[in-house]
Structure 1
Amino acid sequence: MKTERVTVVVADDHPLFRDAVSAALKRRPEFDLVGAYADGRQALDAIREHRPAVAVLDVQMPELSGHDVLNAVRRDELGTRVVLLSANLDSDSVYQAIANGASAYLSKDATQERVCDAVMSVARGDVVLSAEVQTGLATEVQARAAAGRTLLSPREQEILALTASGMSAPDIGRQLHLSPATVKTHLKSLYEKLGVSDRAAAVAEGMRRGLLE
């Protein structure tokens, strides 16, 4: 049975790098290179037209950055998995990329073989991070979790956890020996700190920030 080839779009504003990655993909029989483009706008147009399995994008590009294209792919539910390449391995950039749905983040120093292997891995549903970004990403996650924990007071943290367990404000009050009005005041405060307006959103945001186990 003939194996279906993985369709790929490449975008990078540096011709030599773009051509090198494109040539490496063409040499591998498992890939079908749909097109190679010089800016993010062209790349996004091609993704919308061809719906490739994978897009290999430089983070810094004219018109639209790799992050901009990633966000559009996710927003419009285009289904293409995104591999980001960057000379800048800033941990915040990596964190934002992975949080926004990137399937891989690699250094532009990665070999052509490594890039091709990453494309195949993400086509199978894996997430790939080059060794250079893993430590920085772990540090960023830990720092953000710590910042989130200090965002809420110990009492607000406690009330958020009880809210997540399904308890109502009166139930929480009885559990903590607080009046319902006091509980509501704490809830209002933690809603404001988390930037939400109701219990469900507070729990969801608390989970996203690592405030709830």
Structure 2
Amino acid sequence: MAAQGDGWSGMGGNWTDADDIRRRLDTGRRCSALRRLLRSSPTGLRMDALEDGVTALWEAVMSRKPANARALAAAGADPWRPSLGGWSPGRLSLAGPTPGLFPAPDGVSLTATERAAAQEAPRLTAALGEFYYDGTGLACVAGIDAAEAVRRLEATPVVDDSLLGVLNELLEDPYAHDMDESLHIVGVTSVPGGCVVTGCSRVGPASSRWTP
């Protein structure tokens, strides 16, 4: 009975359609109650509440949603609160495509090295192209080749034909195999100036595999 007329049926995991969410906020009974709660609360929402170690504002900046980030900041989220690695959402924005997203306090800026990396990022992003594989992580490592990366990962190279066959089967139908086992596969490729490492973020170095 609680689910009847709450205005949120069919949302699923997509909360990016602002117009749809506003419509639901205007028609849902529970949402009307939420609006009343926010109006009556002296502090409103905890705008800097953490989820998986970061705030909603950090996620908005990281996801390149400047309108969302500005709305959160206007509602009270702190752009300069330290988050991952000591970086704040505001400092993260300085390294992204919208460096003027928030007015920067005195003394807050990128280092020369960080500015150079931010300037290089669009070229590298364009060179990489656009693709999506669920769970994929990618790192570009300077100064070492694939062989050195494999040594540091304490990985076992995949050179046997039978192992290559297993790898090909996994790539053709990943959901037909045990997820934990597939997480131990890492791809390493030498490139000018370093190497590219790709795989899942939970790979364990003691049992990693690699393929050139």
- Per the normalisation by structure 1, the TM-score is 0.24
The structure that is helix-richer by fraction is 1
